[in-house]
Amino acid sequence: MSAVPQQPPLHETPVTDLKGVGPRNAERLAKIGVTTVQDVLFHLPLRYQDRTRVQEIGALRPGDQAVVEGQVQTTEIRFGRRRSLLVTLVDGSGSLTLRFFHFTAAQREALGSGVVLRCFGEVRKGPGGLEMIHPEYSREQEAEPGSLESSLTPIYPSTEGMHQLSWRGITDKALALLERQPERLPEWLPAQLLERYRLPELVPALRFLHRPPADASLELLFAGGHPAQQRLVFEELLAHRLSLGLLRRQRRRVAALALTGDGGLRRRLVQRLGYSLTAAQQRVGAEIAADLAAARPMMRLLQGDVGSGKTVVAALAALQALEAGAQVALMAPTELLSEQHFRTFRDWLEPLGLPVLWLTGRLKGRARSELLAELTKDLPAVVAGTQALFQQDVRFARLGLVIIDEQHRFGVHQRMALREKGERGRAVPHQLIMTATPIPRTLAMSAYADLDLSVIDELPSGRKPVATVVVPASRRQAVIERVRAACAEGRQAYWVCTLIEESEALQCEAAEARARQLAEQLPDLRIGLVHGRLKAADKAAAMQAFQARNLDLLVATTVIEVGVDVPNASLMIIENPERLGLAQLHQLRGRVGRGSTESHCVLMYQTPLSGNAQQRLAVLRESNDGFLIAQKDLELRGAGEVLGTRQTGEMQFRIADLVRDQALLDDVAAAADRLLQAHPERVPQLVKRWLGRRQQYINA
Ligand code: ADP
Ligand code: MG
């Protein structure tokens, strides 16, 4: 007996091993990422058609896709806007019109009255009742007996040049191979896990989804709720979670500077603040302090609603690093915000004798090289800036901590790259990432499972919620009066122009026009303008003037969205709020309500407003709770939008949907822990199966 050669697993078996898949098809498949037999098996149908039974015409509803059988009653050619052939089909339960725009004389002949037909097509409402346009049909005497399908017909997501029939052929071959040699597609989920969560095994689940039996529920399949689907969703979510877990483990093996200090600087800052820290600030402060004192790099996401006081928590973390003699990089998404941080930190830290630098885009030539030279000295300092902080020529002597503000949109890969950038010698800097866009907990745990999570779940006392009203643009005049009245009382206001679909240039023009117009209508007010196209110096000057109360009204684009802190501003007008997401609006609105006076926000929409937009604005009117708003945003817009990773494709799942499948996330988290404990050797296999080409940062 000769030894049977070991067959490679299906994820190493090229599609061309399947009979009938030649180089042409292989090329087409490769375009959509299908290169192995495993890929074929995991390429699941988008939906299904039921061709397993003949349905009664009388029971059809518009939208159904169905097989019907009946006798032709009448055939006529209609000369309307488009010439068409109309065939009436009756089956005793009702009648249905078959409509053909393209037909031959022979076809017309063959569809004469009395002929018995079997058709398949989509049912729609026509001018004279239900109809099918260009159905597939066969004359009954031609139809072979048993020509109905035995399983639901899968419709695959496709690519140019690949027809559904080809997909069915290819998946047939792959399923047959799987049938013969199931061991080539290993089950990585342990039996106890499957049992515990009542999940079917992999091979039967795949077979089911490619060829569901005639009695499978189309509705359940369409909703993604069938156990066979849930089984794959579970495995995919698990793989994602594990890949982030691997990142986390890998990080623990790297050295960081243990940032311990005597706490003296921190105590002095707290004494000088003029308020006491909230319990939540103290709690997350302690979490961060403990991380920094360890010789493993911290990777912590600090979430806190707008105005919850994240900046001072960041400053305390920075002081701990400075106490330990290290440098701190403070990164903000915009120049505007980096300048504000620079000023805030300077006000806090310079009295303590510590240097605060600002690497602004405005620094050129000599001034810039001097600042860069400063950073190469082994002296404690804080440097604020944008992503420019991590340009090639920026070198740090002893970077101990990187603080990233308002950057939850940073993906895993960017976070990793940034870490490598900061790497000097063997120690990597600690990272603190701050965001005011609250992400529902389970979602955060899945999307950011490589990070530890701290949440400031309390606002400083004395804050009054921002009273929000929703008004149509036709009330503009009244709104302008309101601005006049507020400013007359010594308060300040923002007027935000939004125009997201168009170019930034158009957005800036719109803001300029609005500022001119308001200046005419409100001649007594001092009005400033901030938008993305202004020179950095002009932008900064306007912001500073507003901060120093030398301006009453600041007209702006959404550049002021993040982080800007002017406590005396207590009124905000947002034009066309219907164009923005809820989280973004909440952010914008968070620019007011920072002081002790009652604040107001006016959402001035353009009519007519869609139902969804009405709902969204109502959420904002009724709530000031960022977490609740984020949850609603998630429901109304989907996870990709909320996490902001839609463009990067990072959180793209093949089968899972973070919103639809939210209920699984806790079980997935528990299962991930158990798998790491009991079967660590399966972890890389699972990750490879689901994230194969996307995990270049993981070298487990
Ligand atoms: P965010 O979390 O949105 O970044 P900030 O750090 O800008 O919020 O803080 C918002 C405002 O609240 C600032 O003016 C800050 O000085 C103030 N603040 C922060 N913590 C407290 C506190 N414990 N008590 C009172 N005011 C505070
Ligand atoms: Mg902030």
pLDDT tens readout for residues 484-531: 999 999 999 999 998 655 567 777 788 899 999 999 999 999 999 998
> Which pLDDT band, with edges at 50, 70 and 90, does 218 fall under?
confident
Nearest CA to ligand 1 atom 5: 309
Please tell me the distance between residue 279's alpha carbon and the centre of ligand 2 in angstroms.
Answer: 18
Share of the chain above pLDDT 70, in %: 89
Enumerate the CATH 2.40.50.140 domain ranges in the chain, comma separated: 53-148
| pLDDT tens per residue across span 617-654 | 999 999 988 888 877 877 776 655 555 543 334 456 78
| Alpha-carbon span 214 to 480, nearest angstrom | 65
Please tell me the distance between residue 48's alpha carbon and the centre of ligand 1 in angstroms.
Answer: 54
Q: Average pLDDT of 116-142?
A: 88
Whether residue 475 is predicted with pLDDT greater than 50 in this model: the reply is yes
| pLDDT tens per residue across span 539-553 | 888 988 998 999 999
Residue 287, pLDDT score: 96
The pairs formed by 21-26 with CB atoms below 8 angstroms and a separation of 24 or more are: 21/170, 21/173, 25/162, 25/166, 25/170
Nearest CA to ligand 1 atom 19: 309
Residue 425, pLDDT score: 57
Phi, psi of 688 (to 5 degrees): -65, -40
Nearest CA to ligand 1 atom 13: 309
| Alpha-carbon span 384 to 380, nearest angstrom | 14
Please tell me the distance between residue 546's alpha carbon and the centre of ligand 1 in angstroms.
Answer: 18
Q: Average pLDDT of 326-332?
A: 94
Report which residue type is found at 276.
S
Whether residue 232 is predicted with pLDDT greater than 60 in this model: the reply is yes
Q: Output the pTM of the full model.
A: 0.71
| Nearest ligand 1 atom to alpha carbon 590 | 3
Residue 561, pLDDT score: 62
Please tell me the distance between residue 111's alpha carbon and the centre of ligand 2 in angstroms.
Answer: 72
Ligand nearest to the CA of 309: 1
Task: Write the CB contacts of 468 (distance below 8 Å, at least 6 apart in sequence).
Answer: 589, 600, 601, 602, 603, 620, 621, 624
Buried b (16+ CB within 10 A) or exposed e, 320-335: bbbbbebbbbbbbbbb
Ligand nearest to the CA of 565: 1
Share of the chain above pLDDT 90, in %: 54
Whether residue 290 is predicted with pLDDT greater than 90 in this model: the reply is yes
Residue 467, pLDDT score: 94
Enumerate the CATH 3.40.50.300 domain ranges in the chain, comma separated: 264-456, 467-623
Residue 484, pLDDT score: 96
Domain range 467-623, CATH class: alpha beta
| Alpha-carbon span 460 to 275, nearest angstrom | 9
Residue 700, pLDDT score: 34
Contact 13, 185 (CB under 8 A): no
Residue 646, pLDDT score: 37
Whether residue 228 is predicted with pLDDT greater than 90 in this model: the reply is yes
| Alpha-carbon span 167 to 150, nearest angstrom | 17
Place of tokens 């990793």: 416
Whether residue 1 is predicted with pLDDT greater than 70 in this model: the reply is no
Please tell me the distance between residue 428's alpha carbon and the centre of ligand 2 in angstroms.
Answer: 25
Whether residue 30 is predicted with pLDDT greater than 60 in this model: the reply is yes
Q: Which residue has the higher pLDDT, 320 or 505?
A: 320
Alpha helix segments (H runs only) across 293-431 = 310-323, 335-349, 365-375, 412-422
Please tell me the distance between residue 251's alpha carbon and the centre of ligand 2 in angstroms.
Answer: 27
Please tell me the distance between residue 311's alpha carbon and the centre of ligand 1 in angstroms.
Answer: 7
Identify the helix (H) or strand (E) that includes residue 324: none
Identify the helix (H) or strand (E) that includes residue 496: strand 492-496
Q: Which residue has the higher pLDDT, 661 or 267?
A: 267
126 lines ligand 1 (CB under 6 A): no
Q: Average pLDDT of 315-336?
A: 93
304 lines ligand 1 (CB under 6 A): yes
Give me 398's structure tokens.
Answer: 């002893």
Ligand nearest to the CA of 330: 2
Ligand nearest to the CA of 456: 1
Contact 178, 41 (CB under 8 A): yes
Angle at CA of residue 444, ends 565 and 222, nearest 5°: 125
| pLDDT tens per residue across span 432-445 | 999 877 676 666 66
What value does the mean pLDDT of the chain take? 87
Whether residue 415 is predicted with pLDDT greater than 90 in this model: the reply is no
Please tell me the distance between residue 358's alpha carbon and the centre of ligand 2 in angstroms.
Answer: 17
Phi-psi label, residue 187: left if phi above 0, alpha if psi -120 to 50, beta otherwise? beta
Angle at CA of residue 410, ends 409 and 411, nearest 5°: 105
Whether residue 305 is predicted with pLDDT greater than 90 in this model: the reply is no
Give me 303's structure tokens.
Answer: 């979430």
Please tell me whether residue 351 adopts helix, strand or coil conformation.
helix
Contact 134, 85 (CB under 8 A): no
Terminal Cα-to-Cα distance of the chain (whole angstroms): 40
> Which pLDDT band, with edges at 50, 70 and 90, does 420 fall under?
low
> Which pLDDT band, with edges at 50, 70 and 90, does 699 fall under?
very low
| pLDDT tens per residue across span 172-194 | 999 999 999 999 999 999 999 99
For domain 264-456, give the CATH superfamily.
Answer: P-loop containing nucleotide triphosphate hydrolases (3.40.50.300)
Nearest CA to ligand 1 atom 20: 309
| Nearest ligand 1 atom to alpha carbon 278 | 23
Whether residue 326 is predicted with pLDDT greater than 60 in this model: the reply is yes
> Which pLDDT band, with edges at 50, 70 and 90, does 138 fall under?
confident
Contact 451, 300 (CB under 8 A): yes
Q: Average pLDDT of 578-598?
A: 85
275 lines ligand 1 (CB under 6 A): yes
Ligand nearest to the CA of 404: 2
Q: Average pLDDT of 74-102?
A: 91
567 lines ligand 1 (CB under 6 A): yes
Please tell me the distance between residue 270's alpha carbon and the centre of ligand 1 in angstroms.
Answer: 13
Residue 157, pLDDT score: 87
> 318-322, 415-419, 421-425 — which one is most confidently predicted on average?
318-322
278 lines ligand 1 (CB under 6 A): yes
Residue 527, pLDDT score: 96
DSSP 9: P
DSSP 213: B
> 73-77, 203-207, 607-611, 674-678 — which one is most confidently predicted on average?
203-207
Instruction: Indicate the CATH number of 53-148 among 2.170.120.20, 2.40.50.140, 2.40.440.10, 3.20.20.70.
Output: 2.40.50.140
Residue 649, pLDDT score: 41
